[in-house]
Amino acid sequence: MPGFYCLDNDIILKIATYDLFNDTLQSLDIEENQIYILDTFKYKFGQKNQRRRGNKSNNSEKYDIKKALDITKNYQTISERNFSDSKLDIYTRLINYSQISQHPKNKIDQGEAILISYICSLNQQENDNYLLTGDKRCLRALTNSEMTDILELLQGRVWCLEQLILRNIEHFGFNLIQSKIYPKRDCDTNLKLIFGYSEPASENMVKQSLNSEIRKLKRETRNLLYPYPDD
C-alpha cells in the first residue's frame, strides 16, 4: 500500500504493548519512513515512563510505554506549529467544531485533529494516505460534524484497531496473535471481551466478534474505514 500513515497515540501504545508493532507494519506493507506520529508523543509518554520507574505502585500500568518509546524514537513527527495554510485551515475547523459542540461525544482532541489535517491535506494531492486510530469517538464525532469535504478526503483511508488485529490474524495465524494479545488483554477493554475475559475465546468467536465491531463502526462512520475485510 503506497503513501504515508499517521498513527495516533492509542494505536502506538496498544500494538506496541501487544508486541504487534512490527507485525502490523509487515501485514500492511509499511516501511518506517512512511510513518508519522505526533511530535508530543515522546514528551508526553516519556514523562509518564519516568514517573513509573520512580513509583513502584505504578507497575500495573496497562501499557508498555518503554517499548512504545523505543519503537518510535526515530519516527518522523508532525505538529500544527509548522502546518501549511491548507493543513491549518482543516485543523482550525476541527478544533472550532469540537469547542462549540455541546455534546461530549462530538469532541475531537487536538492530537487527532493534527493527524486528520495532515492526512486530508496529503489526500488533496490525490495520494493515498492513511490514519491508524484507536479513537472511535473521534471518528463518530467527525461523521456528526457534517464536514463533507473532510469526510470525503478520509473515506476509505482509516484503519481501526480491530481491523489491524484481524489483518494480523490473517497474515500470521490466530494462535500467534492470541498468544500475544491474551496475556495483555487489559490493554483494551473491547479486545479483552473479544479474546476472552476469563479464558481464551475460540478462533471462530474472535473473528466473528472482530468482524461485527468493524461492520458496526463502518455503519456509524459512513465508510471512513478502509474496505477491509471485504464487505
Residue 28, CB-side half-sphere exposure with 13 Å CA sphere: 29
| Closest residue by Cα to residue 181 from 16, 7, 25 | 16
Count the Cβ atoms, other than its own, within 10 Å of residue 94: 25
pLDDT tens-digit map of 177-215: 999 999 999 999 999 999 998 899 999 999 999 999 999
Domain ranges in the chain are 6-220
Contact 160, 217 (CB under 8 A): yes
pLDDT > 60? residue 133: yes
Indicate the burial class of 46 (C-beta count within 10 angstroms; 0-12, 13-18, 19 or more). middle
Decide: 121 and 78 in contact? Cβ < 8 Å.
Answer: no
C-alpha distances (whole Å) from 33 to each of 1, 44, 222 are 13, 22, 30
pTM score, two decimals? 0.93
pLDDT at 60: 41
- Is the pLDDT assigned to residue 56 strictly greater than 50? no
Q: What's the pLDDT tens digit per position in 64-90?
A: 999 999 999 999 999 999 899 999 999
The C-alpha atoms of residue 226 and residue 231 are separated, in whole angstroms, by 11
